Amino acid sequence: MPVPIIDMHVHVGLAGDKWPHLGGLSEEYRRSLVFQIFLKYACLSPADVQDETLHRKTLEVIAQSHLDKAVCLALDPIYDAVTGARMAGLSHMWVDNRYIVEQLRPALPDKILFGASVHPYDPSFRDRVDACVADDAVLMKWLPSAQQINLADPRAGAAMKFLARAKGGRPLPLLLHTGPEYAIPPRDPRTKAYDYLSWTWWDAFWNGLRFNKAWYRPDIDRTQANIKAALDEGAVIIFAHCGTPYFSSGLLENIAEHSDFKTIKSYLERTARREFAGRCYADLAAFVTPTRVPYVGEVRKLPPQLLLFGSDFPVPLVELSAGPEEWWKDFKAVIHEGKLDRAIVPEGNLLDVNYRELRHLFGDHPLFTNFNALLA
């Protein structure tokens, strides 16, 4: 039997008008340029930002995709760092686990997998994770800057260790955003560095130039210790985007933008040498863009069994393999039909476009079936 192709990194969202208890978007985020770009790529207008339309569009994209399955990701809101109180009103975007379990998955039970999210500061973290496992969660999603999760915090360390045995003694994989984050801004700009697993003298230099707007300096030693302790317990950690910058590469990799690629590379190489009881993986979500293509050669050198296929839908992507004929069709659509979006938005199902373009870059690389093996 053919091995199922699973996109293990698909974002979903709600405006909060019909299901205010299941998700929401802040007014500030709705007005942002990045959100307007996402709407363009999802073929939506600002008037479409309502729960029923977003829900229908999400199901249409997944149902019409040729991929076998998609992991739809929840995103827990911010929790107070001192009291552990839930603070959904401070989150620019949040999606409750129940939305995936109660609304999305029942509509496409054969195609949608549950990607849970539980904030480690929540005092009921363990009980909520147990409930997610009972609902067949396939992974846990954290986006530290947007959720204001300090990975050096003892609660984050304890949570990662708990995930190492959350599925009846087996690990519930943690999908952890690493590197710069632009899709969902943090409510507190100082937490942008919470996504970093390294901190160079150049990072410190640029941070000093921010003066009173300086980011929190991450406690890298404590963060690395928390990750190492979890891996020693048998945790599975998936580092999103291979820790690469979004806009820069080569000589500009650590100058114009922060990069965690070398750190992620080290984790994967140590995993391949079986230095941990657990395992580290990295995904190629949001990789179909000219600014990340320069990393393809280096990514190919990483242990092939530890790379995973994902899209980061609805993050923008580019048809890198398009030839003159496709460019001419897009040009005519813009000039003669007034379809200005065709200048930047690929035609067709974006999940399929991402899969096709990664195939163009990586061919028959095992990354396309590795997540299925991880589930097994």
Query: Can you give the residue ranges of every domain in the chain?
Result: 6-375
**176-200 pLDDT, tens digit each:** 999 999 999 999 999 999 999 999 9
pLDDT at residue 338 in the model: 44
pLDDT at residue 101 in the model: 98
pLDDT at residue 328 in the model: 41
Q: Read off the pLDDT of each residue in 303-327 and give the average, rounded to a whole number.
A: 83
Q: Read off the pLDDT of each residue in 353-375 and give the average, rounded to a whole number.
A: 96
Tokens of 157: 């360390």
Task: Place 20 in a pLDDT band, splitting at 50, 70 and 90.
Answer: very high
**What is the edge-to-edge ordering of all strands in the sheet holding 137-142?**
6-11, 69-73, 112-116, 137-142, 174-177, 236-240, 279-283, 307-308
Helix/strand/coil for 143: coil
pLDDT at residue 255 in the model: 74
**332-343 pLDDT, tens digit each:** 443 334 444 644
* The pLDDT of residue 324 is above 60: no
Helix/strand/coil for 236: strand
pLDDT at residue 61 in the model: 97
Q: Give the type of residue at 74.
A: A
d(CA 132, CA 114): 9
pLDDT at residue 331 in the model: 39
Contact by Cβ (8 Å): 48, 54: yes
Q: Read off the pLDDT of each residue in 48-61 and give the average, rounded to a whole number.
A: 97
* The pLDDT of residue 372 is above 50: yes
Between the alpha carbon of residue 151 and those of residues 115, 231, 282, the distances in Å are: 20, 14, 18
* The pLDDT of residue 65 is above 60: yes
| Low-confidence winner among 62-66, 291-295, 336-340 (lowest mean pLDDT) | 336-340
Query: Apex CA 264: angle with CA 263 and CA 265, to 5°?
Result: 90
Q: Read off the pLDDT of each residue in 74-89 and give the average, rounded to a whole number.
A: 97
Which is it for the CA torsion 215, 248, 28, 20, positive or negative? Answer: negative
* The pLDDT of residue 146 is above 90: yes
Q: Does 163 or 44 have the greater pLDDT score?
A: 163
pLDDT at residue 346 in the model: 78
Contact by Cβ (8 Å): 125, 159: yes
**Mean of pLDDT over the chain:** 92
DSSP string, 209-223: TTGGGPPPPP-HHHH
Q: Read off the pLDDT of each residue in 128-150 and give the average, rounded to a whole number.
A: 98
* The pLDDT of residue 325 is above 70: no
Q: Does 65 or 347 have the greater pLDDT score?
A: 65
d(CA 248, CA 258): 9
* The pLDDT of residue 2 is above 80: yes
**216-240 pLDDT, tens digit each:** 999 999 999 999 999 999 999 999 9
Domain 6-375 is in which class? alpha beta
**Residue 24 dihedral angles phi and psi, to the nearest 5°:** -170, 165
pLDDT at residue 340 in the model: 44
Per-residue b/e over 215-250, b at no fewer than 16 CB within 10 Å? bbebebebbbebbbebbebbbbbbbbbbbbbbebbe
| Low-confidence winner among 53-67, 211-225, 229-243, 317-331 (lowest mean pLDDT) | 317-331
Q: Read off the pLDDT of each residue in 80-109 and give the average, rounded to a whole number.
A: 97
Entry pTM: 0.94
Q: Read off the pLDDT of each residue in 52-72 and give the average, rounded to a whole number.
A: 97
Contact by Cβ (8 Å): 317, 290: no
Helix/strand/coil for 261: helix
pLDDT at residue 335 in the model: 37
Which is it for the CA torsion 94, 96, 102, 107, positive or negative? Answer: positive
Q: Read off the pLDDT of each residue in 29-54 and give the average, rounded to a whole number.
A: 92
Contact by Cβ (8 Å): 317, 241: no
| Low-confidence winner among 244-248, 295-299, 350-354 (lowest mean pLDDT) | 244-248
**253-280 pLDDT, tens digit each:** 767 789 999 999 999 999 999 999 999 9
pLDDT at residue 344 in the model: 65
Pairing of strands 78-79, 86-87: antiparallel
